[in-house]
Amino acid sequence: MIIGNQEKILKNIISKNFKDQIDWAAANSGIRGLQFIDENHHQNFPDAILVDINISDMNVIEFLERLDKIMFLTKTSLMVFILSKNENSFQKELISRRHNVSNYFINPDSSQEISMIFNMIIKYNQNQL
């Protein structure tokens, strides 16, 4: 699932390079993303979430706290990737330590960097089978 401002770029890369390998959904806000996750925890639960640190309707820490609650209540797990346009080492450390964040990427705007993220998701999913 893709949440945030980089939705169009990521959709384009998925459709070009990973069309048959990744099922995905997108939400342009944190609230919509959390609603989708909560409503689909029995089926179609995402294996991974890519969250833009600058989501429009809440800060990323609030989003991650709500996501942690959903995952605890539904006894599910997933990979969480944070996408950021700039490096704030304090923020990165705070987010990575307090929440179940798989990785924190600084300015992953090249298709090669974003493809690396999707390859990590595919590899993780294959290991779960």
Q: Which domains, and CATH codes, for the chain?
A: 2-128 (3.40.50.2300)
Q: Residue 80: which of 55, 105, 48 has the closest Cα?
A: 48
CA–CA separation, 71 and 117 (whole Å): 22
Which pLDDT score, from 0 to 100, does residue 26 have? Answer: 80
Which residues in the chain come in under a pLDDT of 70? 5-7, 89, 98-99, 108-109, 128-129
Which pLDDT score, from 0 to 100, does residue 6 have? Answer: 66
Q: What is the CA radius of gyration of the chain?
A: 14
Which pLDDT score, from 0 to 100, does residue 117 have? Answer: 81
Which pLDDT score, from 0 to 100, does residue 51 have? Answer: 85
CA–CA separation, 114 and 59 (whole Å): 22
Which pLDDT score, from 0 to 100, does residue 7 have? Answer: 67
- The CA-atom distances, in angstroms, between 91 and each of 49, 62, 78, 120 are 19, 13, 21, 23
Residue type at 18 in one-letter notation: F
Residue pLDDT, tens place only, 18-40: 777 777 778 888 898 899 888 88
Which pLDDT score, from 0 to 100, does residue 109 have? Answer: 65
Tell me which DSSP letter residue 76 carries: -
pTM of the model: 0.79
Which pLDDT score, from 0 to 100, does residue 28 have? Answer: 82
